[in-house]
């Protein structure tokens, strides 16, 4: 079965679950009508189905490679990227002043997810540029914006982000790359960066790197980090390209997946760069890029899950094996355990997608209104959207292999590629453990106010749903109360180690409850006995109960984690 873009799912979520009407009611996004949104999703879906999906296997079999210092991309990728660029898909949410569409992040999130379903390796390239565009819009000088943004938005130039160094992974403050003021408005950047997605390619005129580095005399840690824009070729004032900058691709990483996406080791040898934002403001500028990138990576996980689900479903509907008491098709889709796996995949994809789009709506409302409550909601939902979206991607892709049985580990079927490709998303943009620590620490510095506000909304909604769906509504309400008790316990812990010890199961439990709420919302909008109601019933009565064990774990504290010494762990 070829990939089918789930346009109808996005439309249903926008219209009935996540509240895109609120976004459309703002002055900033009033032109994002239902007709326009439908047209955008439909055209993007065609691009994904007809252009990107055929490149999925090609990128895996003919990976990018380094030749004489230049990255050669996988077969068909140059044409695929050109189709993305000429369609305007890179600049969907970018400022129209520089050639962007100015669409809500909600719509961009849906399109990016579809692209991830079709060909995750290639989708990484426009996602990197989108992050750089946003960072420059917020922190770049007028001169940088005027020169770089039109080129990045059009796809003539591509963008990257350079954080990680061999000795400084998640601990960004330990980086050692240096920047020296040249005295003419530019800086000389020196150092090595690793894990740079799409650090080079053979289809863009220029590759523009955002690089974190430290100025002389800057304080230790993250406060001493500045952000610099370092292009592969130095542009002239008119935008034409001048001489090559003193930077190079040292090597490409040999990865378990995402073979079509070149992950580069970058070397900067007194390369010319321009300061983005103030000195010492590098992390603030980079986090402008990273926060929405975290939502984008969550969408990548969901997209990979969608692709893996469609792949597994097609196989299950075709493969004949054994006999069952219930025989709709005569294939393995009739087996109870295969149905369990497929239903779990489908229900979790819906929950993760709805959480991600709810986060995107909160970002849009923040951008449109500047309201602090919307900003707090977006900040709170971001780590959940990223971690749960990528966890679901990994789990669904793994389940897809199981449905294929022995054929799942045979590369020709394509099932294993989804698992190999999506695995790194739980590590990108801050590991999922870091996301959970962020949730229980920084996002609860308000004493749990934002968390409890969300829980209040879920409970009120469940109470309103009791007349139509008493069992489902009661289950959601009860789970929410349990989550509230755990939230109160966490916020009462002054020792952060106690919070961190249970942060991962707490985040997962919060996602489970949010998923139940959003499934219940979908059931209320469905016709009686409809598909959405059936899926909601499966999620709420079978998957939501996991929250109880997760919350027990979340409140267990840290003592037993350290009860064994390091020597005992190694014995």
pLDDT in tens, 200-220: 999 999 999 999 999 998 888
Q: What is the DSSP string of 207-244?
A: EEEEEEEE-TTPPSSGGGEEEEEEESEEEPTTS-EEEE
Between CA 392 and CA 515 the distance in angstroms is: 12
**Average pLDDT over the chain, rounded to whole?**
94
pLDDT at residue 1 in the model = 61
pLDDT at 533 over 90: yes
Q: Which residue has the higher pLDDT, 288 or 267?
A: 267
Q: Tokens 């990016």 label which residue? A: 112
User: How confident is the model over 179-195, as pLDDT tens digits?
Assistant: 999 999 999 999 999 99
Q: Is the dihedral of CA 314, 317, 323, 328 positive or negative?
A: positive
DSSP state, 539?
A: I
Between CA 500 and CA 490 the distance in angstroms is: 9
Mean pLDDT score, 47-76? 94
Partners of 210 in beta bridges: 161, 229
Percent of residues, the chain, with pLDDT higher than 70: 98
- Residue from 429, 459, 498, 533 carrying the catalytic annotation: 429
Q: What is the dihedral of CA 453, 456, 458, 462, to 10 degrees?
A: -170
Between CA 195 and CA 390 the distance in angstroms is: 19
Check: CB of residue 260 under 8 Å from CB of residue 60: yes
DSSP state, 423?
A: G
What are the structural domains, with CATH classification, of the chain? 7-143 (1.10.540.10), 159-281 (2.40.110.20), 432-561 (no CATH)
Strands 247-252 and 263-276: antiparallel
Question: How open is the CA angle 468-469-472, to the nearest 5 degrees?
Answer: 165
Q: Which helix (H) or strand (E) holds 473?
A: helix 470-491
* Burial of residue 552 (number of CB atoms within 10 Å: 0-12, 13-18, 19+): middle
Q: Which two tokens stand for residue 350?
A: 């819906």
Phi, psi of 133 (to 5 degrees): -55, -45
pLDDT at 461 over 80: yes
User: How confident is the model over 69-95, as pLDDT tens digits?
Assistant: 889 999 999 999 999 999 999 999 999
Chain-centre distance for alpha carbon 106: 13
Q: Which two tokens stand for residue 448?
A: 């749990």
User: How confident is the model over 245-280, as pLDDT tens digits?
Assistant: 999 999 999 999 999 999 999 999 999 999 999 998
Q: Is the dihedral of CA 208, 212, 216, 218 positive or negative?
A: positive
pTM value surpassing 0.85: yes
Chain-centre distance for alpha carbon 298: 3
Q: Is residue 170 very low, low, confident or very high in pLDDT (cuts 50, 70, 90)?
A: low
Whether 395 is catalytic: no
DSSP state, 204?
A: S
pLDDT at residue 554 in the model = 97
pLDDT at 171 over 70: no
Q: What is the DSSP string of 41-85?
A: HHHHHHHIIIIITTHHHHHHHS--EEETTEEEPPTTHHHHHHHHH
User: How confident is the model over 409-420, as pLDDT tens digits?
Assistant: 999 999 999 999
User: How confident is the model over 300-333, as pLDDT tens digits?
Assistant: 999 999 999 999 999 999 988 877 777 777 899 9
pLDDT at 221 over 80: no
* Burial of residue 15 (number of CB atoms within 10 Å: 0-12, 13-18, 19+): middle
Q: Which two tokens stand for residue 341?
A: 């796996």
Phi, psi of 147 (to 5 degrees): -85, -45
Between CA 283 and CA 505 the distance in angstroms is: 28
Residue 323: other Cβ atoms inside 10 A: 9
Chain-centre distance for alpha carbon 343: 23
pLDDT at residue 172 in the model = 61
Q: Tokens 């393995």 label which residue? A: 332
pLDDT at residue 176 in the model = 83
């Amino acid at each position: 079965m070829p990939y089918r873009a789930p346009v109808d799912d996005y439309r249903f979520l926008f219209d009935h679950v996540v509240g895109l009407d609120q976004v459309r009611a703002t002055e900033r996004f009033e032109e994002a009508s239902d007709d326009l949104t439908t047209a955008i999703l439909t055209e993007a879906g065609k691009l994904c189905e007809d252009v990107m999906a055929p490149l999925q296997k090609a990128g895996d079999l003919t990976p990018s490679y380094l030749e004489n210092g230049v990255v050669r991309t996988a077969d068909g990728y140059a044409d695929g990227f050109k189709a993305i660029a000429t369609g305007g898909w890179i600049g969907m949410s970018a400022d129209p002043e520089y050639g962007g569409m100015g669409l809500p992040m909600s719509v961009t999130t849906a399109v990016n997810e579809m692209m991830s379903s079709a060909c995750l390796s290639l989708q990484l390239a426009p996602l990197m540029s989108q992050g750089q565009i946003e960072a420059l819009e917020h922190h770049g000088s007028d001169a940088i914006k005027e020169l770089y943004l039109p080129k990045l938005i059009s796809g003539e130039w591509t963008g990257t982000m350079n954080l990680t160094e061999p000795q400084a992974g998640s601990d960004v403050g330990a980086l050692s790359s240096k920047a020296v003021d040249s005295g003419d408005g530019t800086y000389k950047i020196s150092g090595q960066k690793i894990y740079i997605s799409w650090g080079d390619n053979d289809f863009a005129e220029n590759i523009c790197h955002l690089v974190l580095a430290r100025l002389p005399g800057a304080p230790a840690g993250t406060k001493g980090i500045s952000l610099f824009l370092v292009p592969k070729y130095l542009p002239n004032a008119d935008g034409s390209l001048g001489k090559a900058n003193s930077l190079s691709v040292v090597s490409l990483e040999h990865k378990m997946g995402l073979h079509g996406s070149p992950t580069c080791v970058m070397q900067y040898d007194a390369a010319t760069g321009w300061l983005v934002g103030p000195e010492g403001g590098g992390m603030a500028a980079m986090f402008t890029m990273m926060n929405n990138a975290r939502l984008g990576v969550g969408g990548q996980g969901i997209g990979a899950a969608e692709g893996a689900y469609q792949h597994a479903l097609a196989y299950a509907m075709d493969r004949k094996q054994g006999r069952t008491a219930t025989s709709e098709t005569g294939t393995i889709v009739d087996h109870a355990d295969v149905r369990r796996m497929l239903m779990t995949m489908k229900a979790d994809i819906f929950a993760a997608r709805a959480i991600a789009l709810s986060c995107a709506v909160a970002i849009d409302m923040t951008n449109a209104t500047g309201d602090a409550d919307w900003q707090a909601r977006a900040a709170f939902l971001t780590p959940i959207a990223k971690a749960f979206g990528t966890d679901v991607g990994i789990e669904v892709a793994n389940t897809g292999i199981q449905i294929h049985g022995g054929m799942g580990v045979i590369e020709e079927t394509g099932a294993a590629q989804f698992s190999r490709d999506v695995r790194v998303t739980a590590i990108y943009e801050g590991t999922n453990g870091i996301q959970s620590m962020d949730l229980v620490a920084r996002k609860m510095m308000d004493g749990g106010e934002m968390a409890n506000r969300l829980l209040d909304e879920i409970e009120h909604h469940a109470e309103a749903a009791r007349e139509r769906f008493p069992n489902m509504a009661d289950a959601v309400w009860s789970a929410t109360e349990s989550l509230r008790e755990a939230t109160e316990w966490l916020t009462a812990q002054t020792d952060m180690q106690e919070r961190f010890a249970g942060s991962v199961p707490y985040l997962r439990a919060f996602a489970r409850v949010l998923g139940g709420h959003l499934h219940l919302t979908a059931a209320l909008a469905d016709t009686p006995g409809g598909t959405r109601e059936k899926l909601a019933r499966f999620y709420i009565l079978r998957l939501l109960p996991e929250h109880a064990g997760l919350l027990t774990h979340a409140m267990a504290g840290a003592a037993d984690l350290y009860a064994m010494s390091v020597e005992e762990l190694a014995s």
